[in-house]
């Protein structure tokens, strides 16, 4: 009779739990190392494919061999890692931050998945409560960094030649920096540790970080709008530059791609201009809201956004009010959702967020410039030191005022005895 009974089926819930545990407890070393190697390789392969495509559409591949196109594409990928390159014996050190942002976005997505795959490694909640250390995230991030950096340095060694001489030290430094700034937080988020660690931070620290993000996001949006406004104000000059270059369809596509890759650099130039210090577009040049000194410039359409040589109209200096105004609005919006009734706390949070945002902006401004050619083009970029001073002053004071304003706003809705 037992043969007539239906076969026993496993507990579906238990099977699902086992599959979940296997998916989130994959081999830590292999996942982390291969994650770093795969992340670097994925973006490198895309750049190589674009290089071959550019070689093909440039007179149907009449210029050089496919291997030359692959080498140039690899060098372009390395430029996003701060390698620099020699062009006809002249060092080009400007980092196309648009490419770096693509690399960072890809790394974030991959590192999130790596963190999720190893999320069940490490001590459990009971062990953590007993004081056991959880080193899962640091170990995974270290192995991820090792895989990514090794791939980038190997590419620099293979693709580099005495004529191009990419900086291996620069590639190593930027690769490690990217992993620390991007991969480490992403692995923390993917593994679920970030959510736990945030709860351990003081509420005031979390509030400051939220305000810093708000200030920078709003300021980059304002700087982007300012750049495009300047570009479209003299759009005919940009079109004339394109026509004078006599580009074919392939050349226009490649120029457009180059413009996209350096767009974040242009936004940081615009940011420095709006804060007052301005920037240089060559040795002995300066572009500020109060004075513009230019010389001969390369034929590049985005340079049409530059103001005319000489003293700008007096009203242009009003652009420097955008910095404190933006910081004030950003802190007010953030503090509206994270209120406080204590005057000292509101003021301290606002000024701290402004100072930290100014410091981060100065660091980004410092890496936005570099050499882009021989002669006068050896010095191009924002004046990062002055950006540091102005940004901290503008954002800090605006954050202080916004913190006090929002504290007053929240206190005014309370009864007199409660707000005392």
How far is it, in rounded angstroms, from Cα 224 to Cα 220? 6
Share of the chain above pLDDT 70, in %: 83
Q: CA 243 from chain center: how many Å?
A: 33
Q: What is the dihedral of CA 64, 375, 91, 277, to 10 degrees?
A: -130
At residue 298, the pLDDT reads 76
How far is it, in rounded angstroms, from Cα 18 to Cα 25? 10
Residues 6+ positions from 341 with CB-CB distance below 8 Å: 407, 410, 411, 414, 419
**Phi and psi dihedrals of 293, rounded to 5?**
-125, 110
DSSP-H helix ranges across 24-63: 28-57
Q: Which of 21-25, 195-199, 324-328 has the highest mean pLDDT?
A: 324-328
At residue 283, the pLDDT reads 85
> DSSP secondary structure string, 71-107?
HHHHHHHHHTTT--EEETTEEE----HHHHHHHHHHH
How far is it, in rounded angstroms, from Cα 189 to Cα 52? 36
* Neighbouring C-beta atoms of residue 59, cutoff 10 Å: 11
**Over the stretch 271-285, which tens digit does the pLDDT of each residue have?**
999 999 999 988 888
DSSP 8-state assignment for residue 282? S
Judge contact between 69 and 54, C-beta under 8 A: yes
**Over the stretch 291-317, which tens digit does the pLDDT of each residue have?**
888 877 777 777 777 888 888 888 889
Question: 132: which strand partners?
Answer: none
Query: H-helix or E-strand containing 286?
Result: strand 286-287
Q: Which stretch of 91-95, 117-121, 124-128, 157-161 has the lowest confidence by average pLDDT?
A: 124-128
At residue 319, the pLDDT reads 93
Judge contact between 81 and 167, C-beta under 8 A: no
Whether the per-residue pLDDT at 129 is higher than 80: the answer is no
At residue 297, the pLDDT reads 74
- Nearest one of 96, 138, 111, 117 to 28, comparing CA atoms: 117
Whether the per-residue pLDDT at 233 is higher than 90: the answer is no
Q: Which stretch of 33-42, 89-98, 251-260 has the lowest confidence by average pLDDT?
A: 251-260
DSSP 8-state assignment for residue 118? T
How far is it, in rounded angstroms, from Cα 179 to Cα 82? 14
Q: Which stretch of 62-66, 84-88, 376-380, 393-397 has the lowest confidence by average pLDDT?
A: 62-66
**Over the stretch 97-123, which tens digit does the pLDDT of each residue have?**
999 999 999 999 999 999 999 887 766
How far is it, in rounded angstroms, from Cα 250 to Cα 254? 6
- Over residues 138-143, the mean pLDDT reads 94
At residue 22, the pLDDT reads 44
Q: What is the dihedral of CA 230, 236, 241, 246, to 10 degrees?
A: 140
How far is it, in rounded angstroms, from Cα 222 to Cα 337? 22
Q: CA 95 from chain center: how many Å?
A: 12
At residue 1, the pLDDT reads 40
Which pLDDT band holds residue 238 (cuts at 50, 70, 90)? Answer: low
Which pLDDT band holds residue 2 (cuts at 50, 70, 90)? Answer: very low
How far is it, in rounded angstroms, from Cα 278 to Cα 272? 5
Which pLDDT band holds residue 267 (cuts at 50, 70, 90)? Answer: very high
At residue 123, the pLDDT reads 67
Which pLDDT band holds residue 385 (cuts at 50, 70, 90)? Answer: very high
Whether the per-residue pLDDT at 72 is higher than 70: the answer is yes
Whether the per-residue pLDDT at 155 is higher than 60: the answer is yes
**Over the stretch 32-64, which tens digit does the pLDDT of each residue have?**
999 999 999 999 999 999 888 877 776 555 566
> DSSP secondary structure string, 243-281?
HHHT--HHHHHHHHHHHHHTHHHHHHHHHHHHHS--EEE
- Over residues 165-187, the mean pLDDT reads 95
What is the SS3 assignment for 6? coil
- Over residues 78-89, the mean pLDDT reads 90
What is the SS3 assignment for 222? helix
DSSP 8-state assignment for residue 320? G
Whether the per-residue pLDDT at 15 is higher than 50: the answer is no
At residue 76, the pLDDT reads 92
At residue 310, the pLDDT reads 82
Q: Where are the beta strands (DSSP E) in 115-249?
A: none
* Neighbouring C-beta atoms of residue 50, cutoff 10 Å: 16
pLDDT higher at 30 or 243: 30
Mean pLDDT of the chain: 84
């Amino acid at each position: 009779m037992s043969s007539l009974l239906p076969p026993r089926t496993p507990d579906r819930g238990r099977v699902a739990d086992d599959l979940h545990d296997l998916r989130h407890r994959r081999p830590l070393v292999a996942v982390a190392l291969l994650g770093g190697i795969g992340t670097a390789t994925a973006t490198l392969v895309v750049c190589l494919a674009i290089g071959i495509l550019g070689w093909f559409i440039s007179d149907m591949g009449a210029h050089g061999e496919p291997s030359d196109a692959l080498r140039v594409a690899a060098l372009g990928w390395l430029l996003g890692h701060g390698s620099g390159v020699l062009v006809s014996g002249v060092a080009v050190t400007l980092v196309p931050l648009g490419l770096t942002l693509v690399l960072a976005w890809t790394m974030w997505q991959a590192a999130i998945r790596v963190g999720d795959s190893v999320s069940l490694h490490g001590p459990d909640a009971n062990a953590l409560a007993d004081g056991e250390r959880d080193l899962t995230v640091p170990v995974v991030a270290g192995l991820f960094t090792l895989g990514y950096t090794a791939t980038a340095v190997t590419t620099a060694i293979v693709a580099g030649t005495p004529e191009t001489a990419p900086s291996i030290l620069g590639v190593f430094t930027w690769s490690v920096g990217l992993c620390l700034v991007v991969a480490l937080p992403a692995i923390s988020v993917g593994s679920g540790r970030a959510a736990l660690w945030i709860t351990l931070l003081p509420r005031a620290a979390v509030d400051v970080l939220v305000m810093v993000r708000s200030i920078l996001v709003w300021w980059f949006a304002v700087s982007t709008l300012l750049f495009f406004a300047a570009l479209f104000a003299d759009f005919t000059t940009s079109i004339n530059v394109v026509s004078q270059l006599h580009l074919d369809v392939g050349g226009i596509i490649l120029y457009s791609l180059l413009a996209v890759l350096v767009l974040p650099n242009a936004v940081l130039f615009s940011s420095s201009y709006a804060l007052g210090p301005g920037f240089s577009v060559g040795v002995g040049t300066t572009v500020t809201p109060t004075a513009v000194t230019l010389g001969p410039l390369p034929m590049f359409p985005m340079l049409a956004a530059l103001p005319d040589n000489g003293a700008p109209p007096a009203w242009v200096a009003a652009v420097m009010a955008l910095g404190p105004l933006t910081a004030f609005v950003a802190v007010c919006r953030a503090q509206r959702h994270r209120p406080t009734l204590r005057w000292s706390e509101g003021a301290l949070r606002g000024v701290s967020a402004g100072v930290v945002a100014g410091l981060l902006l100065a660091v980004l401004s410092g890496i936005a410039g570099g050499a882009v050619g021989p002669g006068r083009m050896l010095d191009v970029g924002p004046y990062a030191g002055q950006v540091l001073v102005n940004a901290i002053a503008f954002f800090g004071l605006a954050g202080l005022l916004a913190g006090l304003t929002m504290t007053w706003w929240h206190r005014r809705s309370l009864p007199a005895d409660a707000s005392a």
